[in-house]
Structure 1
């Protein structure tokens, strides 16, 4: 049997979330929102939140430590209060940040029949409602450990969806559907150097609103550069 040509393979459109589909970091934004509603101390939490964010940008973030820190307030407040707060977070912070050109790009891939996946290092509590707002069902994010009641413990479940972990999680996602990298035509949109392993894995890497280091790599390698928030996709 002859292998499928690129035009015959299932098409996979992968999207990072923070600074790629939305012009902000949703994890850091949730932390700032938690401060604003009085769930966290501004001075200490704000200092540590900024510190962790700097480590993320530098590619040195300890994910389990950060997740335990970032989810402490929701773990303590419980499901009902946390979900109500996240609804406010969506209304006040995230929805205004979902811009038409980002929605249009996702929708174009969906209308073309592509398999659309959002793959984010940010945890599932923060990201699931955002993926839903984009009309995307398939979400790979950093999964949270749950206790016997089904609520979060503050720990990480499985492989954090970050750096090389994004490739590991996508490998498993493909295998669960009887697919392989060789059997799909894949595109990945990301702004971050942290996503270089997955950008190097796909057929069509797109440096999207890229940080300077990634922009330089994309230009050197001839990758497409998309400044989504300043131009039409």
Structure 2
């Protein structure tokens, strides 16, 4: 029996989201003039909240305005500097639970809507090798673009990507015991699919759902 402990990243392992902070970090350290687009980005976020554009469109627009296209070297440098600066936002409870799951023989996995090129750096700092995340499209010259390759690792698509990862790793669902940790109700498909669902510092809708389903609720501060 394989043991998997699958963790969401934003607001689960980290106390705050990573996407907007990453974009602002990249803009500030690489091209501060891009911060002039901040009002446009805020307008796009409000448009998304109004339900007028989808999440994928919002993420691509934000990336295009605040970061643009990155060479492989620039991608590596800005992702690492962001991960280093973001270490202070890792929840102490997340560190403790990851250590406990690892000691109990669980394979630790991060499954996140964050882009892999920086989520992987945060994972590496936590000694986590397995990362399922949103992939950025890479152009013919090897540069990371603002476009998302494939699907955004979010909601039902996150579960589909977890299942695809398990298939690639040769892990049959029937032969695995899965713990799933997240802070948000959009991960309901993954919560329901897992053997153990743990709500971490849940927002209001997930708290109601967790109480109704009998899922443990934990506070990692």
Same fold (TM > 0.5): yes
Counterpart among 104, 108, 112 of residue 116 in structure 1: 108
Alignment of 1:227 with 2:219, yes or no, is yes
> TM-score, normalised to structure 2's length?
0.87
Distance 1:64 1:149 in 2: 24
> Which residue of 4, 11, 21 corresponds with 1:19?
11
2:95 corresponds, among 94, 97, 103, to: 103
Q: What is the CA-CA distance between 1:103 and the residue it aligns to?
A: 1.3
- 1:42 lines up with 2:48 in the alignment: no
Q: Displacement, 1:192?
A: 0.8
Match of 2:177 in 1: 185
Q: 1:130 to 1:50 in 2, by over 3 A?
A: farther
| Aligned residue runs from structure 1 range 1-233, under 5 A | 9-37=1-29, 38-39=31-32, 41-42=34-35, 44-45=37-38, 47-48=40-41, 51-52=44-45, 55=48, 61-70=54-63, 73-92=66-85, 94-229=86-221
In structure 2, do the counterparts of structure 1 residues 154 and 84 end up closer, same or farther at CA, with 3 Å as the change threshold? same
Shift of 1:132: 0.6
Distance 1:188 1:162, change over 3 A: same
Structure 2, gaps ≥5 residues long: none
RMSD: 2.5
Cα distance in 2 for residues equivalent to 1:165 and 1:108 = 28
- Distance, in Å, in 1 between the alignment partners of 2:132 and 2:157 is 11
Q: Distance in 2 between matches of 1:103 and 1:27?
A: 21
Matched residues in 2 for 1:77 and 1:102: separation? 31
Cα distance, 1:147–1:43 mapped onto 2, change above 3 Å: closer
Alpha-carbon deviations, 1:159-207, whole Å to 9, x = none?
2211111111111111123323222111100001221111111111101
**Quick one: distance in 2 between partners of 1:12 and 1:132?**
17
Tell me how far apart the structure 2 counterparts of residues 54 and 207 of structure 1 sit (CA, whole Å).
29
Asked if structure 2 preserves the Cα contact closer than 8 Å seen for 1:119 and 1:141, the reply is: yes
| Aligned partners of 1:75 and 1:151 also within 8 Å | no
| Residues in 2 aligned to 1:185 and 1:167: alpha-carbon distance in whole angstroms | 15
Q: 1:91 to 1:85 in 2, by over 3 A?
A: same
| Range that drifts further, 156-165 or 44-53 | 44-53
Q: TM-score of the superposition, structure 1-length normalised?
A: 0.83
Q: 1:47-75, CA deviations, whole angstroms, 9 ceiling, x for partnerless residues?
A: 5257538948x8x7431441353255544
